[in-house]
Amino acid sequence: MRTIHTKCVLTLDNGERLTFEPGAAVPPEHARHWYVLLHSHEPAPVIDPEAERLAAEQAAAAEAEAQRVAAEQAEAQRLAAAEAAAAAEAQRAAEEAEAARRAEEEAAAANAKAAAEAAAATAAKPTASTKKKAA
């Protein structure tokens, strides 16, 4: 970046006009115009196409790496969500199995109680032989 010492107006190749106030910094993309803007005796900087190509490749590689990392993070989040859903389903299934087990125990206990009550009722009824003895 170079600093402007006087107010300058730059007309770009596409016709766009940029005004730079004193103390403003000239961005690198306008490097070839610095010598016009700065009114200095410095030659315009040489733009190295190879360096620009390398910088563009590095920027593209950095962007690709950022996208790869973002994709890995999204996949990790998806897997974590799937694991959480599976754990919740397993917990629900365990709760249902426990409820079914308790229901079976309660049914077995009710059946046992009913059988005991039926046996007691049968034992309490007078049989034919006890009726003869009583008569």
Residue 100 belongs to domain spanning: 49-114
My answer on whether 27 and 13 are in the same domain is yes
Max Cα separation, the chain? Answer: 144
pLDDT at position 28: 67
Query: Is the confidence at residue 135, as pLDDT, over 70?
Result: no
> pTM of the full predicted structure?
0.41
Confidence band (pLDDT; 50, 70, 90) for 5? low
Q: Buried (b) or exposed (e) across 64-94, using 16+ Cβ within 10 A?
A: eeeeeeeeeeeeeeeeeeeeeeeeeeeeeee
pLDDT at position 21: 76
My answer on whether 32 and 55 are in the same domain is no
My answer on whether 75 and 98 are in the same domain is yes
pLDDT at position 108: 94
My answer on whether 7 and 57 are in the same domain is no
Residue 122 belongs to some domain of the structure = no
My answer on whether 28 and 74 are in the same domain is no
Domain count, the chain: 2
My answer on whether 24 and 59 are in the same domain is no
pLDDT in tens, 69-112: 999 999 999 999 999 999 999 999 999 999 999 999 999 999 99
d(CA 93, CA 101): 12
My answer on whether 42 and 53 are in the same domain is no
pLDDT in tens, 25-49: 767 676 555 555 554 444 555 567 8
